[in-house]
Amino acid sequence: MNLIELRGIQKYYGDYHALRGIDLDIAEGEFFSLLGPSGCGKTTLLRVVAGFEDVSSGSVMISNKDMTGVSPNKRPTNMVFQSYAIFPHLSVAQNVAFGLRKRSDLNAQARMTLVEDALDMVGLDGYGARAANALSGGQRQRVALARALVLRPKVLLLDEPLSALDKKMREQMQVELIRLQRQVGITFILVTHDQEEALVMSDRIAVMFDGEVAQIAEAEDLYRKPVSRRVAEFIGTMNFLPATVAGEKVEVAGLGHMELSDTQSMATTDGDTMAGFRPETATLLFPGQKTEGRIASGTVSEVVYYGDMTYYDVTLDGCERPVRISMRNVFGRPVLDIGAPARLAWSPGAVTLFARA
């Protein structure tokens, strides 16, 4: 069952067209991400769901109820703000209890129990009496989560919640957010510009560019079958090579001929287009190594050593720009030097043909 249904959402700020016809269904209990570069409209869309922005046209339905004209304090949504918006004049417990003020069915004891449970859930048990502005960034984040989750909203909206944290803390919070979401079973909608964060955390991801949804897919499908070159470039790294389609045959620069049906094709017409493959779908063969698959030849033009991985830039014969190949470093295998001849094992199944823009 769809908890949230967005239909034909349009949003104008004066002449600026911020959202251009968004249709989106989000299921109950889903961890959904809105992913895109800054200015793509993802935060605006989140604020539309929260009720902080009204729409120019279109409808927002939550639990089959039309939310048009319903103010944020009457919606079954709660938000974790990018700045966390922890009330600095209140203690941690008072912050968490803030939304419970309107719950007249609770007595002081029940309220305190709920607050303590919420703090416990985010790993801040015993922090209730602390002043809110004496907390670290990660702790503020947890207070913001507890403050929203204590109300048991139908939807929790997270606006770039991890962007202010350092890398280590961010990775830790990613895992905790996933655990928390499974534990409470509440629908999470996460806004992020970090594709890795979206891939790690979400059940499904909507990639947005220029106020439009470019693709909605599960993480793996999004990575493996991007619908456009722009999505492919935004999610991870992809190598692009010029290609020509003629009937059932494709000619890709540097790789050679292949059957159109063997590739992941979105090109429907004959002519020039772009082919792409991910750095890890091809393998560099080392001297003497054999393969049954297809081989392209070229020259190593750059080597970047990352410890567990080595990234090679390989210029394929007949191509100007190098392609990037990532290789897991295995004990006993040599790292190729710049200028060394390279043999690239690849398969047509990993090649995506994009429709011409």
Partner 1 sequence: MLRAYVVAFLIFLYAPIALLPVFAFNSGTVIAFPLDGFTLDWFAALRTNSELHSALLNSLTVAGTTSVLSVLLGLMAARANIRYTFPGKAAAMGLVMIPLVLPEIIVATSLLVVVVQFFGWSLSLVTVVAAHVLICTPFAIAILNASFQSLDPALEEAAIDLGETRSSTFRLVTLPLIMPGIIAALLICFTISLDEFIIAFFLTGSDTTLPVYIWSLLRFPNQLPVIMALGTILVIVSILILTLAEWNRRRGIARMGGKDSGGFL
For residue 51, the tally of other CB atoms under 10 A from its CB is 20
Q: Which is nearer to partner 1, 81 or 286 (CB)?
A: 81
**Residue 153 vs 211, nearer CB to partner 1:** 153
Collect all residues with Cβ–Cβ distance below 8 Å to 2 and sequence separation of at least 6. 25, 26, 27, 28
CA distances from 134 to 90, 117, 144, 186 (A): 11, 21, 14, 29
Q: What does the alpha-carbon distance between residue 306 and residue 228 come to, in Å, rounded to a whole number?
A: 29
Question: Which of residues 81 and 311 has its CB atom nearest to partner 1 in the complex?
Answer: 81
106 near partner 1 (CB under 8 A) = no
Figure out which of the listed residues 1, 15, 38, 89 binds partner 1, where binding follows CB under 8 A.
Answer: 89
Question: Is 151 near partner 1 (CB under 8 A)?
Answer: yes
Determine, following the binding rule CB under 8 A, whether residue 236 of this chain makes contact with partner 1. no
Distances (CA, A) of 114 to 70, 124, 151, 332: 27, 13, 9, 57
Is residue 139 within a helix (H) or strand (E), and if so which, with residue range? helix 137-149
Find where tokens 């890890």 sit: 280
Q: Please, which of residues 5-64 interact with partner 1 by CB under 8 A?
A: 50, 52
CA distances from 269 to 243, 263, 275, 351 (A): 12, 15, 14, 17
> Smallest distance, Å, CB 114 to partner 1?
14
Residue 1: both structure tokens together: 């069952």
Sole binder of partner 1 in the list 2, 7, 81, 324 (CB under 8 A): 81
113 counts as binding partner 1 under rule CB under 8 A:
no
Q: Is 140 a residue that touches partner 1 (CB under 8 A)?
A: no
- 82 belongs to the binding site for partner 1 (CB under 8 A): yes
**CB nearer partner 1, residue 147 or residue 229:** 147
In this chain, which of 43, 77, 181, 352 binds partner 1, going by CB under 8 A?
Answer: 77
- Which of 38, 64, 73, 261 forms a contact with partner 1 (CB under 8 A)? 73
Centre a 10 Å sphere on the Cβ of residue 330 and count the other Cβ atoms it contains: 6
Under the criterion CB under 8 A, does residue 78 sit at the interface with partner 1? yes
Q: Which stretch binds partner 1 (CB under 8 A): 54-62, 85-93, 119-127, 342-350?
A: 85-93
